[in-house]
A and B are shown apart, each in its own frame.
Chain A
Amino acid sequence: MEHIRMPKVENVRLVDRSSSRRIQVGTLYLTATHIIFVGKGSEDRNELWVLHSLVCNVVKHKSSQSGYPLLIHCKNFQVIQFIIPQESDCHNVYISLSRLSRPEKYEELYCFSFNPNVDKAEREHSWDFLNLKAEYSRMGLPNKLWHVTPINREYRVCDTYPADLFVPKSVTLPVIVGSSKFRSRGRFPTLSYYCKENHATICRSSQPLSGFSARCLEDEQMLQAIMKSNPGSRFMYVVDTRPKLNAMANRAAGKGYENEDNYCNIKFQFIGIENIHVMRNSQQKLIEVSALRSPSMGEFLLGLENSDWLRHIKSTMEAGIFISKAVAEEGVSVLVHCSDGWDRTAQVCSVASVLLDPYYRTIKGLMVLIEKDWVSFGHKFSHRCGHLDGEPKEVSPVIDQFLECVWQLMEQFPCAFEYNEKFLISIHNHVYSCHYGNFICNSQKERKDLCIKEKSHSIWPHLWESKLDFMNPLFKPDQSQNQGLLRPSTAPYCFKYWRRLYNRFDRELHPRQSELDCLMTIKEETQQLEEELALYEQKLAVLDKERAKTLYMQKGVLDSKQALWSLPLDTSLANTPQDYIGGFIGGAPNVFTLQQGERESAELSLFGDKPKSSDADSSDQESGVADFSSHSSGEESLPTVYALSVTALFEER
């Protein structure tokens, strides 16, 4: 609280960036956790809530006649512009926000003060929602070739790895220790994915400390053991995801890559994904392009090209494809590493997993995958997402790229994923929001030391609750081409600009009607009707029975009649439409700003956007056609500004 110099400013104007003529006047509040803007005048309170942890930077602009503009860029790509009447107020807000958005200690993060109305047991339970042990056993582990090694239980061998790690059974503890000493930060080769069908595995590690000529017998034994644990194959791939030049430069620092001559039966391969600094700059350029106000087609496309962003997405995807094909088609195990093995390695392993295993294309599966390959294996979320004030060079959109690869795949295979892009965008939001404890800190050990599980809540059950919002109505799990390995095309035209993410808050850019929501409503209704039919049949059966009974026993009639009425009542309660229909059908189907139940973190969109309507309540079960007109109401769109507006055009003359 001591950082808030100015808890409240009146007469602040909020400018809609799509059209500077649409302005809201209201009051700006600064709380310990949020920036809150409350619009004045209108009956339905227009509010904008922004978490401090989502604020990327705050910029003061040159004063104008109307006041002092303050521009807030958020990590979820929202850009907010306030105009504050007094310079001193503006400065105070600026100073307060600059401090509030850059917490110095973990304890300041929102997840430690976020206290939803749940009891302790429920909170603890939320952390058990995902269980990595169950995930490994889903893969078929442990088995006769792979087991959990206790060696890192106390995080002594590698403090950035999880406590439980799978290694070949044939590997002895000294070999692991030896290998870990020969790898950057002790990140020795360990299992990430196991393919039940052919025993091929994806393993991950950091770079070897090979320098120009160093060798390590244990490390060589380790790789040999991994290769042997795949009985069908005679060699394994070692994939270095860095550009060859970078890897060679590392040799001078005593690091580097595996020498094919020293390791038996390995095939070594460079992939050439650029490092975190290149990616950070690239995304910065992309964000600038996405934020251009009415660019020409040429400016936009050239900007997209110059950002190089899609090229990086493509190279990540290609790495994933290479590995998934090695595993599924050749049945060969792969060891993946980059420098430290927590950025590109995490990306590539998880992209390959999504391609390989349909489970990761389900809602729960993607959660598990992120929990396993990213959270548990020590992707440095706090550094990469800039949760705390720190070294800006550590920040990089590594997980953004993974989510985008999944999105690109969804675009190519519209029927292969259980989730839709809202799910990815929600995850993206929460990776940065610090609203839940999952993505805080840089490793499992740090999280344990901080007692994250005791002090904060887990995001996954929260997302699971709103899973109906995240469903892809086109998902066809039984379709043969959606089973097993996905074979995406890497033709350049298959890589598209992700408008829903980068222009998430620019409502006027998105389709005015949502096919997805419409299909979802239709599907839900079909299901409802089916249930209704079943209900009637049930009712009939009961009545039949009753009739038979009543012929003999008059006494029982009254009781059974009650039963008759209570039965349908219960069932119909269980399938009232609002249970299925999320927030997106009523009002404006394409409004992306609201995730159900996320109000604490998110931002109520302003400018005439009705919050979720509860129209669904009024839908008539009996008619079977529940309030169907509601999904066409979304196109009540305002015209985009085609000219400067015709009238404005002539005022000039």
Chain B
Amino acid sequence: MELSEHIKTANVEDVTLKRPFHPALRGTLCVTSHHLLFSDRKDEASWQLLILLRNIDAIEKSVENLFGYPRAVGSSGTITIKCKDLLVLQLEIPGMEECLNIASSIEALSSLESVTEMYPFFYRPSHLTLQGPWGLSSMEQYYKQTERLWDRWRVSTVNSDYSVCPSYPSAVIVPREVADDMLIRSARFRQGGRFPVLSYCHHRNGMVIMRSSQPLTGANKKRCKEDELLLQAVIDGSELGYVIDLRSAQQAQQARMTGGGFESKSCYSHWKRIHRHHERGKVVQESLIKLVEACSDPSHSVDRWLSKLENSKWLSHVHSALSTAGLVVECVERDGHSVLVHGSEGTDNTLLVSSLAQLILDPASRTVTGFLCLLEREWIQAGHPFQQRCAHSAYSHARLKQECPSFLLLLDCVWQVWRQFPLALEFSEALLLRLAQEAYASNYGTFLCNSEQERCAAGVKENTHCLLQSLLKPDIEEQYLNPLYEPTDLAIWPSVHPQSLQLWTGLFLRWTEYAQNMVEAREEVWSIVKEHRERAGPDQTNNTLSTHCETLTPFENLMDELTIL
């Protein structure tokens, strides 16, 4: 079925648009295959609102009309559009039939299943070209750039046809002494084939963060020699390593009943296991839904608000993610031991914890490029199933399937780190907000599909543009930079006390008047910094000073001469 067949009414005049904190507007509404376009034609300079249909999470319609008179004068309908970026709009559409047609088009076109029908495959801006490499860096490139890996680690292409682990990229970094056939065996012993691979090697002491999925020990306490040897190779014999299991000890025990399990002490004698309970999947998605619901009603009393905020548990998830990341960092940086992180599948909380730990540890991941590379490596290439997780956001009434805002949780945690270290990150809150939006609905192909394998099969790299590249080229937009950035080599340990964690107002209250004042403050920060740069910029200061010196010196010489006279 062609996309256009979903569109029964493409154009409606005299539609009223209501947005929060703006006066209502009248104009024309258009539905295209991928967009909803509203244009206000009253003025010369017409104002337009373009919404990607994919961004629409839920719509609610209500029609008023006299039954039996479908075209009766005065019949009209209201559509409430709730977007994945949490914006809520209302459209008043004259004519019941038009209203229902528009609503059904939106419903059909906003939830397309086929990847190749999605907008990134049609997005062709004139300033971008489809030629050239896609993405920022491949695993091979990362390895080449990271000299400290060369000695003990190698790139394995055992997964080049995605047969060993369908959700891993074609190349992964593993201990040099472990051969590919061992990896294959280990993969069979891990859920989804996600055998332990290198995630990060610490620049100070060479300790590493590994990640994987749970081992399939099952009820019979199965063992896998190769898996054990692989982990042995990671810590190089004598030392000690930590397994950070993102489930409670009880949950890990229970997982054995369904074929999963954990690294028992008897089999992995050099590895110490620490359990940290993290909620996953549906529970986290429901947290997001509850939180957004709580934020959307400003008429609540403070008590009700606080109890809803507590009840959503969102901040508790932020709290546990940051605490566990801190624990990983403590193991690596302070105690000087390597760490293996995994939960069950190793595609959500595992990535969350390992990438947060890197942000805390590694100054390179706190630059714009470094952070985007981190996301590419640890989320996109590492096989976070974006398409499943971000199919719906907080408003959808659809039955939950595999949705889970793990990525949003990561961005929230990064925001918390920025609040506590406002000078340590090169990027700004605006970049985090942009990423939050793009993960759910995008012009770009970056967040399409669930794994590298799927992206290959769908031809994402050939037929769509890459968001990460376009964020960096030709220049990073000023709004994505932190004007106060001062790089530091130290680890930035965030405080995880509940008193220190805050609601991410920039995201969750983005469309309220509260956010407007914050925008003003951000602008003021920029203008202070700019004024300073103007005065103190290396070129200018030197210029003015040197011109002054040049002009002064001959005078002074002249004066000296005169004095002598």
A residues within 8 Å of B by Cβ?
Answer: 290, 294-302, 304-305, 308, 310-311, 313-314, 412-415, 473-474, 476, 479, 481, 489-497, 499, 503, 506, 508-515, 518-519, 522-523, 525-526, 529-530, 533, 536, 539-540, 543, 546-547, 550, 554, 557-558, 561, 622, 624-625, 629, 631-632, 635-640, 642-643, 645-647, 649-650
Contact = CB atoms under 8 A, between A and B. Distances in A.
Interface stretch (B399-407, B427-435, B552-560): B552-560
6 contacts: A290-B499, A300-B499, A515-B423, A522-B532, A526-B531, A646-B331
A512 B559 contact: no
Nearest to A511: B420
Contact of B274 (A305, A635, A643): A643
Given A297-B498, A412-B514, A493-B509, A305 B421 contact: no
The residue among A493, A639, A649 with the most chain B CB atoms within 10 A of its own CB is A493
Nearest to B420: A511
Contact of B316 (A297, A540, A649): A297
A526 B535 contact: yes
Contacts of B327: 642-643, 646
Contacts of A300: 498-499
A514 B422 contact: yes
B536 A638 contact: no
A313 B302 CA distance: 10
Contacts of B500: 499, 509-510
A300 B502 CA distance: 12
B18 interface: no
Contacts of B306: 301-302, 304-305, 310, 492
B261 interface: no
A511 B319 CA distance: 16
Contact of A414 (B315, B316, B491, B518): B518
Interface stretch (B88-96, B175-183, B247-255, B520-528): B520-528
B305 interface: yes
Interface residues of B, number: 84
A460 B166 CA distance: 70
Given A512-B420, A518-B422, A557-B562, A639 B330 contact: yes
Nearest first, the 9 A-B pairs at minimum CB distance are: A492-B305, A491-B298, A300-B498, A301-B310, A642-B326, A305-B306, A414-B521, A515-B422, A529-B535
Most chain A CB within 10 A, of B274, B301, B490, B536, is at B536
From B302, B307, B319, B525, name the one whose CB has the most chain A CB atoms within 10 angstroms.
B302
A476 to B, nearest CB: 6
A632 B486 contact: yes
Nearest to B337: A646
Interface string B301-330: 111111101100101100100011011011
A474 B524 contact: yes
A110 to B, nearest CB: 31
A497 B497 CA distance: 13
B505 interface: yes
Nearest to A412: B517
B501 interface: yes
Interface in B532-547: 532, 535-536, 541, 544-545
B506 to A, nearest CB: 12
B532 A526 contact: yes
Contacts of A294: 497
Contacts of B316: 296-298
A624 B536 contact: yes
A314 B302 contact: yes
A503 to B, nearest CB: 5
B295 interface: yes
Contacts of A506: 497, 499
Nearest to B333: A639
Interface in B25-46: none
B302 A311 contact: yes
Contact of A624 (B541, B556, B558): B541
A495 B330 contact: no
Contacts of B532: 522-523, 525-526, 529
A225 to B, nearest CB: 39
A415 B525 CA distance: 10
Contacts of A561: 559, 563
A465 B496 CA distance: 36
A635 B421 contact: yes
Contact of B495 (A290, A305, A539, A640): A640
B492 A489 contact: no
Given A522-B528, A635-B421, A642-B330, A508 B497 contact: yes
